[in-house]
Structure 1
Amino acid sequence: MERFDTVILGAGAAGMMCAIHAASRGGRVLVVDHARAPGEKIRISGGGRCNFTNIGTSARNFLSGNPHFAKSALGRYTQHDFIGLVEKHGIAYHEKTLGQLFCDDSAKQIIAMLLDEMAQAACELRLGTTLEALERSDDGFAVRLGGDGAADIRCRHFVVACGGKSIPKMGASSLGYQIADQFGLAVTETRPALVPLTFGDEVLAGFREIAGVAADARVSCGKTSFEEALLFTHRGLSGPAILQISSYWREKQPIRIALLPRLDFFAALRASRQENGRRSISNTLAEILPKRLAAHLADANGWAGPIGDASDKKLAAIAAILHGWEVLPIGSEGYRTAEVTLGGVDTSGLSSRTMEARAVDGLYFIGEVVDVTGWLGGYNFQWAWSSGWAAGTAIAERSSPRN
């Protein structure tokens, strides 16, 4: 029988961060993961360069049944704290749009940084290891592990950091939610988030003609809007603006697209009419929008003939459609391509300060498994760092050093 102060299920961003801090006062910490390598979602993120945080992070960038829950962890371990850790390890980084920070070189540098910090804290890592059983014991938890790290273990603290359902080909599952249910914690509805949207055959037939075309847009659903790029695909719509709005979209809700939202289309079309009235409406639009997209919109809406023949009323109608194009998605690409899982362990059952289950002493839930879901742009990684830090520091305060 092996004994640890803390066992952490999941060697991802939240789990490794938690381990570093849980072991900071000498507590014996074990991290287990079914995968053959740690930090797999870190490795593939940001096109292999890891969008590791966002300089504008605040609680308003997250969806949750309790919009205030994330404030404590995010406020006590901020994006600036994590940037300091990155700089301490000499990792070069750069800012892209909207405050997103990426490694100059490789996401593997972030994984190496976390592993180095874990090694310095004397954390133990067992990969290719599965959780076979978890039960309460007199002094904490009885854990049975299978696979390469098979063992029977006793621990005082057990941390669930195994993520959500997104990207099942990487081993994602509902295990974290099952553990919550086992110990009587509620789980909110879960669904794919930050995911491309799909459309019915009638709409999709037109989209296939313009697959690969991207354009700046403001995409809205209800009262929520995001202004970034969208991308037409063979399956429907993708791109940052679509991924963002997918977290707010629900079945049978239309989305509204304003192409080039900062452009006054009516004024631009009137100027083009005056400059060259013989030019077709399609060709006029092609001076403003990507050529294939302009042709598609002109054909789909019957915008034929020279622009010189178009009245102000017609130009205003064209501008209204370009700034208010409404389409009805029929679904999303699902967990297969979703970057995160929306929903999760209900925050009403957790301490916002420590991430510990209120009714189960020593049981913690951190990262994606919790009902806290960030926008696209580094926010979900910051939640992983912050929630992992919150649980890890709370555990360290309770753990006694072992010789």
Structure 2
Amino acid sequence: MEQFDAIVLGAGGAGLLAAATAGQAGARVLVLDHADRPGKKILISGGGRCNFTNMGVEPECFLSENPHFAKSALARYTQWDFLALVERHGIAWHEKTLGQLFCDGSARQIVAMLMAECAAGGVEVRLSTGIGEIGHGDGRFRVAGAEAPALIVATGGPSIPKMGATGVAYDIARRFGLSVVDPRPALVPLTLSEGEMPFRAISGVACPAVARAGGMAFEEAALFTHRGLSGPAILQVSSYWRPGEAVSLTLVPGAMDALREARRRMPRARLKAALAEWLPARLADALAGRIGLERELGNASDADLARAAETLEALTFHPTGTEGYAKAEVTAGGVDTAALSSRTMEARSVPGLYVVGEAVDVTGWLGGYNFQWAWASGVAAGRAVAAKRR
């Protein structure tokens, strides 16, 4: 049986950077993945340009049963550290809205960078390799004909199953007695009922909005789809939304003042005409129908306008669910952080077992935050493995 200092399960972002970190510190590391290529999720991220981190990463941008857990890893490997790595490899990048950083070229550059870092650490990467049964005894882990005192689980969550994603990390965690916070799709479109058909019927219409759910609010674009609601603002709140709860959209901030001004300027106009000044025409039409104010604006009372303003500032939906893991960008929930060291990502009850990245109950906002968690947690585990070897 081949001997290594660490075996990493998963050749995604967290696994590759964990392996590279440990390898460059002198550890002999093996990476195993059932996929035929490394970094498959990286390759499709950011429209193929990989939104690899965010200028504004803070612990408050992450969702977890323990909101403090991510602080240590994020503080010890920051967005600036990863950006320095990107620049060292000569990868051109640009900043888009809300601090999001993308490759100028292709996400393939990030994967090539991670593989180069692994090569620099002498890491062996075996693709198209099943994990099979994991043996454990005498302080050593045995996987696919290899043995090591450290096992890093970096197999992600079940989001985007067409890429080969599974919940195997949870099976491994339970096999070793670690608890799992119920996983669920996150950063995912929401579905609406037939009763919301006027809005499902305007599929493809998008507009700026403030979306609210689960006590959180995000100001970005909202998109109406043939199945319900999507767009960045909706994806953001979807991580906090729970079945049975409402989602509201502010489409016209300060709507009462805006409607009064419209009444003054265009007293002969109907509500739809005023709404069309602020919103896409098809959305204005659907909203006018929902509000039901038929008279000319000049004949509308303040009470009429107040009712209309209430809808424009808090257009409320009761989603029937989400579009599931197939359309989810990430998975919320995962291996319970109570079972792990926040500094090293090692299981408290199983020395040598580490869990990193999306497999852990830490979920970031849309916009590069989940990649930063992958990098930070992977580095934390890689450093810990190397430190134990010394």
Post-superposition CA distance 1:311-370 (Å, at most 9, x none): 222122211110011110010001111111111111111111111111111110000000
8 Å Cα contact 1:225-1:245 kept in structure 2: yes
8 Å Cα contact 2:247-2:317 kept in structure 1: yes
Aligned with 2:164 (options 154, 160, 171):
171
What secondary structure, in the 3-state scheme, does the structure 2 residue paired with 1:66 have? coil
1:80 corresponds to 2:70: no
Aligned to 1:202: 195
Aligned 1:198-347 pairs, distance under 5 A = 198-203=191-196, 205-261=197-253, 264-347=254-337
Amino acid at match of 1:343: G
Post-superposition CA distance 1:42-73 (Å, at most 9, x none): 11111111111111111111111111111110
Task: Tell me the number of residue pairs that the alignment of Structure 1 and Structure 2 aligns.
Answer: 390
Amino acid at match of 1:241: A
Post-superposition CA distance 1:164-210 (Å, at most 9, x none): 1111111111110000001111111111111000011111x212321
Aligned 1:33-52 pairs, distance under 5 A = 33-52=33-52
TM-aligned CA deviation for residue 276 of structure 1 = 2.2
TM-aligned CA deviation for residue 139 of structure 1 = 4.5
Aligned to 1:388: 378
What secondary structure, in the 3-state scheme, does the structure 2 residue paired with 1:284 have? helix
* Aligned-partner Cα distance in 2 for 1:359–1:273: 68
8 Å Cα contact 1:221-1:256 kept in structure 2: yes
* Aligned-partner Cα distance in 2 for 1:248–1:163: 20
Aligned to 2:126: 126
What secondary structure, in the 3-state scheme, does the structure 2 residue paired with 1:335 have? coil
1:181 corresponds to 2:174: yes
TM-aligned CA deviation for residue 223 of structure 1 = 2.2
TM-aligned CA deviation for residue 26 of structure 1 = 1.9
Aligned to 1:70: 70
TM-aligned CA deviation for residue 273 of structure 1 = 2.1
1:99 corresponds to 2:99: yes
8 Å Cα contact 2:2-2:147 kept in structure 1: yes
| Residue segments in structure 2 that go unaligned for 5+ positions in a row | none
What secondary structure, in the 3-state scheme, does the structure 2 residue paired with 1:189 have? strand
Aligned to 2:355: 365
Q: TM-score, normalised by structure 2?
A: 0.98
* Aligned-partner Cα distance in 2 for 1:285–1:188: 44
| Residue segments in structure 1 that go unaligned for 5+ positions in a row | 146-151
Q: Which is worse superposed, 292-301 or 267-276?
A: 267-276
Amino acid at match of 2:257: A
* Aligned-partner Cα distance in 2 for 1:278–1:200: 35
TM-aligned CA deviation for residue 260 of structure 1 = 3.5
Moved over 6 A (4+): none
* Aligned-partner Cα distance in 2 for 1:140–1:291: 64
8 Å Cα contact 1:215-1:260 kept in structure 2: no
* Aligned-partner Cα distance in 2 for 1:222–1:34: 37
* Aligned-partner Cα distance in 1 for 2:383–2:46: 28
TM-aligned CA deviation for residue 104 of structure 1 = 1.2
1:113 corresponds to 2:113: yes
Aligned to 2:2: 2
Aligned to 1:136: 136
* Aligned-partner Cα distance in 2 for 1:90–1:380: 23
* Aligned-partner Cα distance in 2 for 1:116–1:278: 68
What secondary structure, in the 3-state scheme, does the structure 2 residue paired with 1:195 have? coil
8 Å Cα contact 2:139-2:351 kept in structure 1: no
* Aligned-partner Cα distance in 2 for 1:349–1:32: 24
Post-superposition CA distance 1:73-105 (Å, at most 9, x none): 000000110011111111111111111111111
Aligned with 1:155 (options 129, 132, 148):
148
Amino acid at match of 2:32: V
What secondary structure, in the 3-state scheme, does the structure 1 residue paired with 2:5 have? strand
Two-structure CA RMSD over aligned residues (Å): 1.2
* Aligned-partner Cα distance in 2 for 1:176–1:376: 22
What secondary structure, in the 3-state scheme, does the structure 2 residue paired with 1:72 have? helix
Q: Which is worse superposed, 243-252 or 270-279?
A: 270-279
TM-aligned CA deviation for residue 114 of structure 1 = 0.6
What secondary structure, in the 3-state scheme, does the structure 2 residue paired with 1:131 have? coil
* Aligned-partner Cα distance in 2 for 1:7–1:235: 42
Inter-CA distance 4–369: structure 2 relative to 1 (3 Å threshold): same
Aligned to 1:148: none
1:61 corresponds to 2:61: yes
